[in-house]
A and B are shown apart, each in its own frame.
Chain A
Amino acid sequence: MHCKYLIIGNSVGGVAASEAIREIDKVGKIVMVSEEPHRVYSRALIPYFIAGRIDLEKMYYRDANFYEKNDILPFLGKKVIKIDFKDRKAEMEDGCKIGYKKLLLATGAAPFIPQMKGLDKERPKDGFFTFSSLDDAMKIKKKIESGIAERAAVLGGGLTGLMAAEALAENGIEVTVVELAGSLLPGVLDETASHLVEEHLEEKSLKISTGRRIVEVVGEESVETAVLDDGTILPCDLLIIGAGVRPRVELARDTGVRVNRGIVVDRRMRTSVNDVYACGDCAEDYDFLQGDFRLLPIWPTAYAGGRVAGFNMCGVEREYRWGTNMNSMHFFGLRIIVAGSITENGDDEVFKKICGDGNYRRIALKDDRVVGMILMNEIEGAGVLLNLMRAGINVKSFKEELLSNDFGLISLPEKLRQEIMT
């Protein structure tokens, strides 16, 4: 079989690319291949699904007629095992080959599962799940609904781990979070914000164990207990892994496609091989703050990167300029928005302010330009701040405004505001 555009991956990056292609090229044949048997769903919605805030139907990112409407031929539940970049052919597990003119690698990332005694990654015990696939989510849901899950251990005190913990706790499950680093959300929040989150979660009866690893999983057929490195034994019916992801680069490795930590692309999302593009969690995106490329496994960069790839694949030149570290999250009603650099850097000028009710604001400046922000609870104006970061605006004349809880476009000097608004 032959097509004009072959997209490997069926999540947000692949979908964004196919939508961009269809804005330009209405007829070129698009084929999408995905290992997962499901039509496109949102991985980011798994916590909402587990918590029971949305039903399965709302997990789907696009309508059921998405492929038909966009004239896309989907191969779902099919795995590409090898790509011949010279002959421009992808080979599937069943031996079927698909020729292409343009190829997009949107293969995403796989959850990182640390080594632990008693864990066979190929045949994990019942009750052992990741938090990043719909299949696992449906199994977790089934366990919860059957009423046999009373206690859970969550490995990972980062974004995924904590959202998993909250979702489980909302089902009345007793949850313990185990995090290797000394504080929650390491690398995502600064120490102050991290402490505020920890206090908040403990108030909501989550148990937190930082500076710890799970070294052993005990249980015959099902998970029964998790053993920590200090000998603590955590009885659990569910063991959820939310300890970050690793880019899936196996199709590109040891080929002509350059791979660093992720697949190397330029600002047009082109890899080192002609007519081969990559986007999303498997690729290294351009970070405007660092002026360099790095792994940014977050939703908006996958969409924007996929869109840029799609345009370039049909000959419309577009550059990726949106990405940096950014996240919006919430735990038991506590809203947190972060973007840019969080770690304390000697060059930075840091403004911060804590006021009651979990309100915290931290803005980092370098050479009078915003390079990082943490907003807790009062998150209005976050987009205005991010835009100041992106545009590299000198904020010297209105620095004090940055910490005000009602910071917004009105806080900017008139001339700057009008420039932004036109």
Chain B
Amino acid sequence: MRRIRCREEVCIGCRLCEVWCQVEHSKSKEIINAFLRETAFPRVRVEERGPISISLQCRHCEEPNCVHACISGALYRDLETCVVKHDASKCVGCWSCVLACPYDAIIRDDAHNRVLKCDLCEGREEPICVEKCPNDALIVEAYDAL
């Protein structure tokens, strides 16, 4: 099982993870279009307090509270890949998962009344945020089942 971890001691709060996540999850996958002509959003969030910053994304929990709380069935855990997935077409924007997630990893997309979350960049060898992190603060870590 895999998930992304942020080493906060080396995170510099540059927010490039947000930028590249937005590009990767845009239709064009092209930076200018993603920011100017599309309504794409990042699925990772950088929180900052003074000198400290941390990049937060889905932990792909083995017992995901967000999946338990989801009233529409949009959130589910893929038992083969162990990735917690979100079918945006089923999401109604009830925000139950915002309440359920202990990791601040659910992003609200008010414009479309739905949430967004990290999908570990399906189809990519390495998630884009990890690849583009200039200080190697973001790493992919493997973790064992409970």
Contacts and interface: CB of A to CB of B under 8 A. Distances in A.
Interface of A: 16, 23, 42, 44-45, 48, 53-54, 58, 60-62, 299-300, 303-304, 307, 322, 326-330, 335, 337, 339, 379-384, 386-387, 406, 408-411, 414, 417-418, 420-421
Interface stretch (B18-26, B34-42, B93-101): B93-101
B99 A45 contact: no
A299 B73 contact: no
Nearest to B63: A307
B99 A328 contact: yes
Contacts of A337: 95, 98-99
Contacts of B109: none
B98 A379 contact: yes
B124 to A, nearest CB: 23
A300 B68 CA distance: 5
Given A53-B113, A379-B95, A409-B47, 13 more contacts: A44-B94, A48-B92, A58-B92, A327-B99, A328-B98, A383-B99, A383-B101, A383-B102, A384-B104, A386-B102, A408-B47, A410-B49, A414-B8
Interface in B18-68: 47-49, 52-54, 56, 59, 65, 67-68
B72 A421 contact: no
| Top 4 A-B residue pairs of the complex, sorted by shortest distance between their CB atoms | A387-B102, A410-B47, A44-B71, A383-B101
Nearest to B46: A410
Given A322-B68, A383-B104, A23 B99 contact: no
A383 B52 contact: no
Interface residues of B, number: 35
A380 B108 contact: yes
A409 B96 contact: no
Interface string B124-137: 00000000000000
Given A58-B72, A299-B69, A420 B99 contact: no
A54 B95 contact: no
B98 A383 contact: yes
B98 A299 contact: no
Contacts of B106: 383
Interface centre among B65, B68, B79 (most CB of A within 10 A): B68
A163 to B, nearest CB: 10
Nearest to B90: A58
Contacts of B2: none
A308 B67 CA distance: 14
A215 to B, nearest CB: 34
A384 B94 CA distance: 18
A297 to B, nearest CB: 13
Nearest to A58: B90
B65 to A, nearest CB: 7
Contacts of B15: none
Contacts of B56: 408-409
Contacts of B95: 328, 330, 335, 337, 379
A405 to B, nearest CB: 13
B40 to A, nearest CB: 20
Contact of A383 (B48, B71, B72, B100): B100
17 contacts: A16-B68, A44-B71, A44-B94, A300-B96, A326-B99, A328-B96, A337-B95, A337-B99, A382-B99, A383-B65, A383-B103, A383-B106, A384-B103, A387-B102, A409-B54, A410-B52, A410-B53
